[in-house]
Structure 1
Amino acid sequence: MGTNSKRRREEKLRKKAKNNSNPNFRRSHALDAKLALTEFETLITNLTTPKSITEKVLEFSRTLSDQVPFYIDCQPEPWSRQNCCDRNVVEYAKIHGGEPVFGFRLWANGDIYIEAERHAIWKGNEELRDVSFVSSGETHVLFVPDSQNVTGGFDAAPQKIRYAFTPHRRQVIATINALESAAPIGQMTSEESWRVMPTYAQWQNGKRMPNYVPVHLLGGP
């Protein structure tokens, strides 16, 4: 969860809060949008891999899957692309065989906030490997696989799921989710991401790019 991507996400939400003057929206959400944004920024500050699998982590994990979360090291290839975990697995499987395991990476801010980010890792025989890297430099992540009855692959679940542990903070999350739904952010296709995102080798050499790039800023091939 890179600092640049957090700032870009916060800026997009700030613009939405400023521009959203729809009285129906304001009446349907008890929290003022700007206030919710300010509180949300404190929730997502210092997001990192949970230090341990606490009962609160398990509480959230059970809302995602019937599988048990586990830690896994990041072992990217030099060509692995940032924020392209599903494609990284596809390309790795072309070389080594195996198949993807879909699920979520879990990020937390202590015991006040946690979120799930859609993710994929590689499975071959009895081996599991995370062939992607984290733009913030973390080398160890917490992953929970999808329930065994989930079908549909990587797109079978939302890209991000947020969770807070108090009623007020859950209200903050609900307001932020509503803001995002009111003005959804255009997403790059898999091919666009593969074309523009840095490889792990480039990232090691200092190249940086936010995880979310406005589609209108993308150039041609």
Structure 2
Amino acid sequence: MATDTPETIDAAVLAFCATVAPGVPQYVEVVPGEAARVAYCFDNAAAAVARGGGEVAHGWAIWRWAGRYFEAEHHGIWRRPDGTLIDVTPMFYGQTRTLFLSDPQAVFDPARFRANILGAEAGNAVAEEYVALARERAAILNAYGEPGVAHAITPEDQARLDAITPRWVELYAALERGEGMLQGA
């Protein structure tokens, strides 16, 4: 697993979050709801609201691959009637808490896909190049609709992807080897 819930809310986490939305992230306990499914956070949160009241809290799950990069994923959790936040979506890797950045402006709309937001760890040139290429790839692919849904891609865009992908894969492998990391990260 590359990205995970950040261990602490340090200055680097706060700096990344400031590029995503105003506010301060907070840890939220993961307590999977009845019949909740991995990756269906908005449906899971809506089901929790239907069962127990409250509302869906919209925002971003914050992930970190320490020393490499951050990722913000559009996310919804349950705000119970007493105001307590609970992440009712089971995590793919079994995390027991989520770092959640509230963003009331990021309301879920099934007709509007919100791409993940990446940011390189400061001082990691390999991660900076990787993130730049990942953003470029995402801009091309996201123009075709929701990820995972088959769409015909134009030959021009396929050529752009073909030009980017080898270097992107090479950089990912370098990140796996720990290249570009600052000492102590």
Matched, 1:57 2:13: yes
Q: Paired residue for 1:175?
A: 133
Q: Paired residue for 2:42?
A: 86
Partner Cα distance (1:182, 1:64) in 2: 21
Q: Paired residue for 1:104?
A: 60
Matched, 1:71 2:27: yes
Give the Å deviation of 1:52.
Answer: 0.5
Partner Cα distance (2:41, 2:78) in 1: 10
Q: Paired residue for 1:199?
A: none
Give the Å deviation of 1:186.
Answer: 5.1
Q: Taking structure 2 as the reference length, what is the TM-score of the superposition?
A: 0.69
Deviation digits for residues 76-131 of structure 1 (CA, Å, limit 9, x no counterpart): 12300110101111111111111111111111111331111111111123222111
Residues 1:144 and 1:78: Cα distance change in structure 2 (over 3 Å): same
Task: Assess if the C-alpha contact under 8 Å between 1:105 and 1:142 holds in 2.
Answer: yes
1:136 to 93, 96, 104: 93
Aligned residue pairs total 144
SS across alignment from 1:183: helix
The 5-angstrom pairing of residues 140-151 of structure 1 reads: 140-146=97-103, 148=104, 150=105
Give the Å deviation of 1:58.
Answer: 0.4
Partner Cα distance (1:92, 1:183) in 2: 32
Give the Å deviation of 1:173.
Answer: 1.2
* Larger RCO (alpha carbons 8 Å, 6+ apart): 1
Task: Assess if the C-alpha contact under 8 Å between 1:82 and 1:132 holds in 2.
Answer: yes
Deviation digits for residues 46-79 of structure 1 (CA, Å, limit 9, x no counterpart): 2111110110000001111221111111111230
Q: Structure 1: any 5+ residue segments left out of the alignment?
A: 4-45, 188-211, 217-221
Residues 1:72 and 1:65: Cα distance change in structure 2 (over 3 Å): same
**Identity across the alignment (%):** 28
Residues 1:101 and 1:182: Cα distance change in structure 2 (over 3 Å): same
Amino acid in the other structure paired with 2:97: H
Q: Structure 2: any 5+ residue segments left out of the alignment?
A: 151-185
Partner Cα distance (1:68, 1:183) in 2: 30
Q: Paired residue for 2:149?
A: 215
CA RMSD, Structure 1 to Structure 2 (Å):
2.2
Residues 1:127 and 1:182: Cα distance change in structure 2 (over 3 Å): closer
**Structure with the higher helix share, 1 or 2:** 1
